[in-house]
A and B are shown apart, each in its own frame.
Chain A
Amino acid sequence: QVKLVESGGGVVQPGKSLRLSCAASGFTFRSYGMHWVRQAPGKGLEWVAVMSYDGSKEYYADSVKGRFIISRDNSKNTLSLQMNSLTAEDTAVYYCVHIGGYNAMDVWGQGTTVTVSS
Protein backbone atom coordinates (compact mmCIF):
# COMPACT_ATOMS: atom_id res chain seq x y z
CA GLN A 1 0.00 0.00 0.00
CA VAL A 2 1.01 3.61 -0.45
CA LYS A 3 3.26 4.80 2.35
CA LEU A 4 4.74 8.24 2.83
CA VAL A 5 7.25 9.07 5.56
CA GLU A 6 8.33 12.67 6.10
CA SER A 7 11.53 13.68 7.83
CA GLY A 8 13.71 16.71 8.35
CA GLY A 9 11.54 18.76 10.65
CA GLY A 10 12.90 20.51 13.70
CA VAL A 11 13.50 23.85 15.38
CA VAL A 12 15.13 26.52 13.23
CA GLN A 13 15.83 30.21 13.74
CA PRO A 14 14.01 32.88 11.73
CA GLY A 15 15.74 33.59 8.44
CA LYS A 16 17.36 30.18 8.28
CA SER A 17 16.71 27.25 5.96
CA LEU A 18 15.45 23.71 6.38
CA ARG A 19 14.97 20.82 3.97
CA LEU A 20 12.16 18.33 4.35
CA SER A 21 12.11 14.92 2.72
CA CYS A 22 9.38 12.41 2.01
CA ALA A 23 10.20 8.76 1.38
CA ALA A 24 7.57 7.08 -0.76
CA SER A 25 6.85 3.38 -1.13
CA GLY A 26 4.13 1.02 -2.24
CA PHE A 27 3.47 2.65 -5.59
CA THR A 28 5.25 3.69 -8.78
CA PHE A 29 6.51 7.04 -7.52
CA ARG A 30 7.63 8.32 -10.92
CA SER A 31 4.05 8.08 -12.22
CA TYR A 32 2.34 10.38 -9.69
CA GLY A 33 2.32 14.01 -8.81
CA MET A 34 3.01 14.88 -5.19
CA HIS A 35 2.03 17.71 -2.86
CA TRP A 36 3.09 19.37 0.35
CA VAL A 37 0.37 20.61 2.70
CA ARG A 38 0.91 22.26 6.08
CA GLN A 39 -1.04 22.99 9.22
CA ALA A 40 -0.04 25.63 11.74
CA PRO A 41 -0.75 24.84 15.41
CA GLY A 42 -4.48 25.02 16.07
CA LYS A 43 -5.18 26.21 12.53
CA GLY A 44 -6.62 24.80 9.33
CA LEU A 45 -4.95 23.12 6.40
CA GLU A 46 -2.92 25.12 3.89
CA TRP A 47 -1.83 23.77 0.52
CA VAL A 48 1.86 24.57 -0.04
CA ALA A 49 3.20 23.16 -3.29
CA VAL A 50 2.90 20.47 -5.94
CA MET A 51 5.25 18.83 -8.40
CA SER A 52 4.17 16.84 -11.44
CA TYR A 53 5.12 13.21 -11.83
CA ASP A 54 8.11 13.99 -14.01
CA GLY A 55 9.22 17.17 -12.28
CA SER A 56 8.36 19.34 -15.26
CA LYS A 57 5.71 21.42 -13.49
CA GLU A 58 5.56 22.94 -10.04
CA TYR A 59 3.19 25.34 -8.36
CA TYR A 60 3.31 27.14 -5.04
CA ALA A 61 1.07 28.94 -2.59
CA ASP A 62 1.59 32.68 -2.65
CA SER A 63 2.72 32.54 0.98
CA VAL A 64 5.81 30.47 0.09
CA LYS A 65 6.51 31.43 -3.51
CA GLY A 66 10.11 32.55 -3.96
CA ARG A 67 11.17 31.02 -0.65
CA PHE A 68 10.30 27.32 -0.93
CA ILE A 69 11.40 24.91 -3.64
CA ILE A 70 9.79 21.55 -4.26
CA SER A 71 11.80 18.82 -5.95
CA ARG A 72 11.80 15.09 -6.48
CA ASP A 73 14.23 12.28 -7.20
CA ASN A 74 12.36 9.56 -9.03
CA SER A 75 15.36 7.25 -8.83
CA LYS A 76 15.18 7.38 -5.02
CA ASN A 77 11.40 7.68 -4.63
CA THR A 78 11.87 10.88 -2.67
CA LEU A 79 10.07 14.21 -2.58
CA SER A 80 11.73 17.23 -1.00
CA LEU A 81 10.85 20.72 0.14
CA GLN A 82 13.66 23.25 0.50
CA MET A 83 12.46 26.02 2.80
CA ASN A 84 14.43 29.26 2.87
CA SER A 85 14.04 32.57 4.72
CA LEU A 86 11.82 30.93 7.29
CA THR A 87 9.55 33.00 9.51
CA ALA A 88 7.40 32.21 12.53
CA GLU A 89 4.42 31.95 10.16
CA ASP A 90 6.03 28.85 8.62
CA THR A 91 5.73 26.98 11.92
CA ALA A 92 3.51 23.99 11.13
CA VAL A 93 3.18 20.29 10.60
CA TYR A 94 4.15 19.58 7.01
CA TYR A 95 2.48 16.69 5.20
CA CYS A 96 3.61 14.93 2.06
CA VAL A 97 0.59 13.87 0.00
CA HIS A 98 0.04 11.49 -2.92
CA ILE A 99 -2.20 12.42 -5.85
CA GLY A 100 -4.61 9.63 -6.69
CA GLY A 101 -7.39 9.28 -9.18
CA TYR A 102 -9.40 12.34 -10.19
CA ASN A 103 -6.49 14.51 -9.07
CA ALA A 104 -7.45 14.02 -5.41
CA MET A 105 -4.90 14.01 -2.59
CA ASP A 106 -5.70 10.56 -1.32
CA VAL A 107 -2.84 9.36 0.89
CA TRP A 108 -1.06 11.49 3.47
CA GLY A 109 2.12 10.97 5.42
CA GLN A 110 2.16 11.30 9.19
CA GLY A 111 3.69 14.77 8.99
CA THR A 112 6.87 16.38 10.23
CA THR A 113 6.90 19.37 12.55
CA VAL A 114 8.76 22.57 11.75
CA THR A 115 9.14 25.22 14.45
CA VAL A 116 10.64 28.57 13.57
CA SER A 117 11.77 30.29 16.72
CA SER A 118 14.73 32.19 18.07
Chain B
Amino acid sequence: AIQMTQSPSSLSASVGDRVTITCRASQGIRSDLNWYQQKPGKAPKLLIYAASSLQGGVPSRFSGSGSGTDFTLTISGLQPEDFATYYCLQDYDYPWTFGQGTKVEIK
Protein backbone atom coordinates (compact mmCIF):
# COMPACT_ATOMS: atom_id res chain seq x y z
CA ALA B 1 0.00 0.00 0.00
CA ILE B 2 1.12 3.56 -0.68
CA GLN B 3 2.13 5.34 2.50
CA MET B 4 1.33 9.01 2.98
CA THR B 5 3.57 10.90 5.37
CA GLN B 6 2.11 14.20 6.49
CA SER B 7 3.96 16.89 8.38
CA PRO B 8 3.88 18.46 10.79
CA SER B 9 1.51 16.46 12.98
CA SER B 10 0.47 19.69 14.68
CA LEU B 11 1.23 23.37 14.53
CA SER B 12 0.31 26.54 16.36
CA ALA B 13 -0.44 29.65 14.35
CA SER B 14 -2.10 33.02 14.68
CA VAL B 15 -4.95 34.53 12.71
CA GLY B 16 -3.52 35.98 9.54
CA ASP B 17 -0.54 33.64 9.37
CA ARG B 18 0.43 31.71 6.27
CA VAL B 19 0.36 27.99 7.03
CA THR B 20 1.93 25.19 5.01
CA ILE B 21 1.26 21.47 5.44
CA THR B 22 3.15 18.86 3.45
CA CYS B 23 2.35 15.33 2.39
CA ARG B 24 4.81 12.87 0.89
CA ALA B 25 3.84 9.68 -0.90
CA SER B 26 5.97 6.55 -0.73
CA GLN B 27 5.77 6.29 -4.52
CA GLY B 28 4.70 8.53 -7.36
CA ILE B 29 0.97 9.23 -7.45
CA ARG B 30 0.81 11.77 -10.31
CA SER B 31 -1.57 14.48 -9.05
CA ASP B 32 -4.03 12.05 -7.45
CA LEU B 33 -4.05 13.79 -4.09
CA ASN B 34 -6.86 15.42 -2.16
CA TRP B 35 -6.95 17.56 0.98
CA TYR B 36 -9.65 17.47 3.63
CA GLN B 37 -10.50 19.61 6.63
CA GLN B 38 -12.13 18.12 9.69
CA LYS B 39 -13.51 19.90 12.73
CA PRO B 40 -14.26 18.08 16.00
CA GLY B 41 -17.38 15.94 15.83
CA LYS B 42 -17.92 16.69 12.15
CA ALA B 43 -17.42 14.80 8.91
CA PRO B 44 -14.42 15.77 6.80
CA LYS B 45 -14.83 18.41 4.11
CA LEU B 46 -13.13 18.28 0.72
CA LEU B 47 -10.92 21.33 0.14
CA ILE B 48 -8.63 20.45 -2.76
CA TYR B 49 -8.82 17.68 -5.35
CA ALA B 50 -6.35 16.60 -8.01
CA ALA B 51 -3.57 18.22 -5.96
CA SER B 52 -4.38 21.82 -6.86
CA SER B 53 -8.05 22.22 -7.80
CA LEU B 54 -10.19 24.13 -5.34
CA GLN B 55 -13.47 22.46 -4.46
CA GLY B 56 -16.50 24.64 -5.08
CA GLY B 57 -17.39 26.90 -2.17
CA VAL B 58 -13.97 26.66 -0.55
CA PRO B 59 -12.31 30.03 0.14
CA SER B 60 -9.47 31.00 -2.18
CA ARG B 61 -7.04 31.33 0.74
CA PHE B 62 -6.70 27.54 0.47
CA SER B 63 -4.39 26.28 -2.24
CA GLY B 64 -2.65 23.05 -3.13
CA SER B 65 0.40 22.20 -5.15
CA GLY B 66 2.68 19.34 -6.05
CA SER B 67 2.80 16.19 -8.12
CA GLY B 68 4.59 12.88 -8.03
CA THR B 69 5.54 12.35 -4.40
CA ASP B 70 5.53 15.77 -2.74
CA PHE B 71 2.46 17.88 -2.08
CA THR B 72 1.61 21.03 -0.17
CA LEU B 73 -1.53 22.59 1.28
CA THR B 74 -1.21 26.31 1.95
CA ILE B 75 -3.59 28.52 3.89
CA SER B 76 -2.83 32.15 3.08
CA GLY B 77 -4.16 34.28 5.88
CA LEU B 78 -5.42 31.88 8.53
CA GLN B 79 -8.94 32.62 9.73
CA PRO B 80 -10.54 31.62 13.04
CA GLU B 81 -12.72 29.04 11.28
CA ASP B 82 -9.63 27.33 9.83
CA PHE B 83 -8.50 25.87 13.12
CA ALA B 84 -9.08 22.19 12.45
CA THR B 85 -7.32 18.99 11.46
CA TYR B 86 -6.22 18.54 7.86
CA TYR B 87 -5.68 15.28 6.02
CA CYS B 88 -4.23 14.36 2.66
CA LEU B 89 -5.53 11.36 0.76
CA GLN B 90 -4.07 9.56 -2.25
CA ASP B 91 -6.62 8.23 -4.72
CA TYR B 92 -4.04 6.94 -7.19
CA ASP B 93 -4.33 3.27 -6.26
CA TYR B 94 -6.30 1.02 -3.94
CA PRO B 95 -6.15 0.80 -1.01
CA TRP B 96 -6.54 4.56 -0.79
CA THR B 97 -4.54 5.95 2.10
CA PHE B 98 -4.73 9.06 4.25
CA GLY B 99 -1.94 10.98 5.86
CA GLN B 100 -1.98 10.88 9.64
CA GLY B 101 -3.36 14.41 9.89
CA THR B 102 -2.15 17.87 10.90
CA LYS B 103 -3.88 19.66 13.74
CA VAL B 104 -3.82 23.43 13.35
CA GLU B 105 -4.20 25.12 16.70
CA ILE B 106 -4.45 28.69 17.87
CA LYS B 107 -1.21 30.24 19.09
Contacts and interface: CB of A to CB of B under 8 A. Distances in A.
Interface stretch (A11-19, A43-51, A66-74): A43-51
Interface string A82-118: 0000000000000100001111111011110000000
Contact-size category for A: 20 to 34
Contacts of A105: 34, 46, 89, 91
Nearest to B90: A47
A53 interface: no
A68 to B, nearest CB: 12
Contact of A110 (B43, B89, B91): B43
Contacts of B55: 104, 106
B91 A103 contact: yes
Interface in A12-54: 35, 37, 44-47, 50
Nearest to A58: B94
Nearest to B92: A103
Interface of A: 35, 37, 44-47, 50, 59-62, 95, 100-106, 108-111
